[in-house]
Amino acid sequence: MANPRKRGTILLLVTGLLLTIFAGRLVEIQAVRGETLAAEALDQRMKVLALPAQRGAILDSDGAPLAVTVEARNLTADQTLVTDPAAVAAALAPILGADADVLATRLTGTRRFVYLAKSLTPEIWNRIRDLRLPGIFSEETSRRVYPSGTLAANVVGFVGDEGLGLGGLEYAFEDQLTGTPGEMSYEGGLSGGAIPTGARSLTEAQSGTDITLTIDRDIQYVAQETLAAQVKASRSDSGTVVVMDPQTGDILALATVPTFDANDPGASDAKDLGNRALTEVFEPGSTAKLMTLAAVVNEGKANAYSWFKIPPKLVRGDEDFQDHTPHGTLNLTLAGIMAKSSNIGTILAAERIGGRKLEKYLKKFGIGESTGLGFPGEASGYLLPRDQWSSTSLPTIAFGQGFSVNAVQAASVFATIANDGVRLTPRLVDTLTADDGTIETPETAKPTRVVSAETAQQVRAMLETVVGPGGTAPNAGVPGYRVGGKTGTAQAFDESCGCYRGVVASFVGMAPIDAPEMVVGVFLMNPKVGRYGGQLGGPVFKRVMTYALQSRQIPPTGAQASRLPLGG
C-alpha cells in the first residue's frame, strides 16, 4: 500500500501547482489584459445604428421645392411569426396595390427579415399598423418626392430605388446632395434594448447640400405647356424652349417635350428622360445668320444700310445655292438680308470677311465647345476645322448648315447680342447651401467680348425687321414691346441613314429689343404639320415672351421702332 504521507505530499504539490496556474491566469486577465478584455466585451454588447443623411433639396429661383426628401417606411416581415401567410397577404394586398399570391409567397418561410415594400408613405404604414398583423413590421427610411411631377423634370432628373441620382442634376450633383451619414452606438442588454446607464455615442448625420436653380417655375410651366400644345399641333417629334436672362446668363426655363413624371420615371420612354436642350444637337439653319452678319458688321465690311445685289441663284464650288422662295434679281440692304432670311445675301456678305474670320467669330460665339453648365450627357456640337473646309463650306456654314449646336448654345448666341456683344457662360445652378448654412456660388468662365457694343446694337435693329412688315416672323411680335429675332428652318440630319431627312423649325428672339432683358429660343424637331420657324416657333415665342416680360415686371422702353430700309 502506498505511503499516505507521500500521497498527501503529491496532492499538496498538485493543488499548489493548479492554484499557481489559476493565480497567474487571474493576474494576466485582471492586471495584464484587463482593459483589453473589458473593451472586447463592451464591443460585443455595443449595438450600432446607422443614421442616414437627409438628401439635399433642389429648389427653383424663389426657393419653391422641385425635389425634396420626405419621411417614408419600408414594410418588412418576420416569416417565423406569420401564422397564416394567405390571410396576411389578403389584408395587405389592397393597401399596397400588390398581388396577394406574390405577397403570400414572400410571407412564407423561415427567414426572420424580408422586405415586402419600400418607400411607403407614413399614412399607408399607419393603415397597415392599425391591422396589427403578426410578423409585420416597418423600418424608417426616406423617399424622394418631386412636388410638381413633370415640371422641369428633364432638368432636375430623378433617383433610383436606392436613392442615388440617375439623371439630370440629381446625378450631376450626387456627391453634394447625398450628405454624410451619421451613427449611433449604444450598449445593449440581453433583450437587445439599450442599457439605461450603459455606454453610448452619437455622430450626427450631415444633410446634403441644397441646390437653388436659376429656373423660374412659373416661366418654366408656361414654356412647357405652350410647347406641348405646339408639338402636338405640329406633330413634331419633340420640342425645346430656352429662356435666358442675357445680362446674367441665367436660364429661367428649359422646357422639353415629351417629358416625364420624375416621381415615376419608369412609366416613360428612356429617350424622354434626358434633357434634349443639351443632349441633342442640330444644324441651326438661318438663326445662325445672326453670327455671320454680326461678324461682317464688326469687321466694318458692311452695315445695316449696305446694299447687295441678290441674283436668283449663286454657284459656289459644284453647288447651286438658292433662297427658300424663288425670285428674280433683288436689291437688298444687309437689314433686308436679315429680314428676308436670304441665303444668297448671307453668302455674299460672308465672302467679304472670308472663311478664316468667320470661323474665328463662330468660335468666339461658343460654337463647338461646351456650354459650361456641366450637365450630364451634354453634346457640344461640332464645327469642322478651317483647314478641312471645302469649296462649299463657307457658303453653307454662313447660313447655318455644316455645323451643329444644342438649343442652349443657339439661345446663348442671341443672348450675346442682347448683352451688347459680351458672351456669358449660361447658368443653371445659382447657389449651393451646405448643412452648416455656408452658401457657395458656382464659378463661371470670364465674359468674352465677341463683337462691339455698337455692332450688337446695329444687329438688334436688324433683328427687329424680322418681326416687322416684310419679315419672316410677323406673328412673333409682342404687343406693347419692341421685339426682334430670327427664324430658322434647317434640314435635320438623320444618323440612322446618314442623310438629311425632316427639318428643324426654330425662332430665337429678344425683348425689349433696344434694351434686352429676356431671350427666348423655340426649337421644333421634324414637324409634320407646318415647316417654317416663323410659322411654328413664332407663336410659342410670343406666348412665352409675353408671360416672362409681365411676370418679371419688365416695362416697355417706350422707344420708337427702328425704320431700316430693306429693299426688294
Residue 194 pLDDT > 80: no
Output the pLDDT for position 2.
53
Instruction: Identify the band that residue 181 occupies on the pLDDT scale cut at 50, 70 and 90.
Output: confident
Tell the burial category of 442 from Cβ atoms under 10 Å away from its Cβ (0-12, 13-18, 19+).
Answer: middle
Contact 482, 489 (CB under 8 A): no
Q: Three cell numbers at 15?
A: 493543488
Ramachandran bin of 306, using left for φ above 0, alpha for ψ from -120 to 50, beta for the remaining angles: beta
Residue 403 pLDDT > 60: yes
Q: Three cell numbers at 486?
A: 430670327
Instruction: Identify the band that residue 401 occupies on the pLDDT scale cut at 50, 70 and 90.
Output: very high
Task: Spot the catalytic one: 286, 341, 342, 412.
Answer: 286
Residue 396 pLDDT > 60: yes
Instruction: Identify the band that residue 422 occupies on the pLDDT scale cut at 50, 70 and 90.
Output: very high
Output the pLDDT for position 182.
77
Instruction: Identify the band that residue 190 occupies on the pLDDT scale cut at 50, 70 and 90.
Output: very low
Nearest to 57 by CA among 46, 48, 68, 49: 68
Output the pLDDT for position 561.
83
One-character DSSP codes across 442-466 = ---PPPEE-S-HHHHHHHHHHHHGG
Output the pLDDT for position 491.
78
Q: What sign for the dihedral angle of Cα 269, 427, 486, 466?
A: positive
Contact 308, 331 (CB under 8 A): yes
Q: Is 138 a catalytic residue?
A: no
Contact 54, 207 (CB under 8 A): yes
The one-character DSSP state at 560 is P
Q: Three cell numbers at 81?
A: 411569426
Output the pLDDT for position 546.
97
Output the pLDDT for position 276.
95
Instruction: Report the SS3 class of residue 282.
Output: strand
Q: Three cell numbers at 60?
A: 427653383
What is the helix (H) or strand (E) element at residue 488, kind and residue range? strand 484-494
Instruction: Report the SS3 class of residue 10.
Output: helix
Whole-model pTM: value is 0.85
Output the pLDDT for position 48.
64
Helix runs in 108-245, H state only: 122-129, 153-156, 168-172, 174-178, 217-234
Instruction: Report the SS3 class of residue 428.
Output: coil
Task: Tell me the CA distances in angstroms from 442 to 40, 67, 317, 395, 415, one per residue in order.
Answer: 48, 20, 47, 40, 20
Output the pLDDT for position 31.
58
The number of beta carbons lying within 10 Å of the beta carbon of residue 303 is 15
Convert the pLDDT of each residue in 451-478 to its tens digit: 999 999 999 999 999 999 889 999 999 9
Convert the pLDDT of each residue in 21-75 to its tens digit: 666 666 555 655 656 645 555 455 556 666 678 899 999 999 999 999 998 899 9
The Cα–Cα gap between 179 and 74 comes to 21
Nearest to 169 by CA among 180, 182, 159, 160: 159
CATH assignment of 217-434+445-551, among 3.30.43.10, 3.40.710.10, 1.10.150.120, 3.40.50.1000: 3.40.710.10
The Cα–Cα gap between 301 and 537 comes to 32
Output the pLDDT for position 196.
61
Convert the pLDDT of each residue in 280-337 to its tens digit: 999 999 999 999 999 999 999 999 999 999 999 999 998 999 998 999 999 999 999 9
Output the pLDDT for position 142.
85
Output the pLDDT for position 492.
74
Output the pLDDT for position 191.
45
Output the pLDDT for position 262.
96
Instruction: Identify the band that residue 225 occupies on the pLDDT scale cut at 50, 70 and 90.
Output: very high
Residue 93 pLDDT > 80: yes
Radius of gyration of the chain (CA): 35
The Cα–Cα gap between 298 and 353 comes to 10
Instruction: Identify the band that residue 502 occupies on the pLDDT scale cut at 50, 70 and 90.
Output: confident
Give me the mean pLDDT over the 508-520 stretch: 97
Average pLDDT, rounded, for the chain: 90
Give me the mean pLDDT over the 256-268 stretch: 96
What is the helix (H) or strand (E) element at residue 527, kind and residue range? none
Cis, peptide link before residue 122, omega less than 30° from 0: no
Q: What sign for the dihedral angle of Cα 299, 301, 306, 308?
A: negative
Instruction: Identify the band that residue 9 occupies on the pLDDT scale cut at 50, 70 and 90.
Output: confident
Instruction: Identify the band that residue 192 occupies on the pLDDT scale cut at 50, 70 and 90.
Output: very low
Output the pLDDT for position 163.
86
Tell me what percent of the residues of the chain surpass a pLDDT of 70. Answer: 88
Nearest to 501 by CA among 282, 233, 271: 282
Contact 403, 384 (CB under 8 A): yes
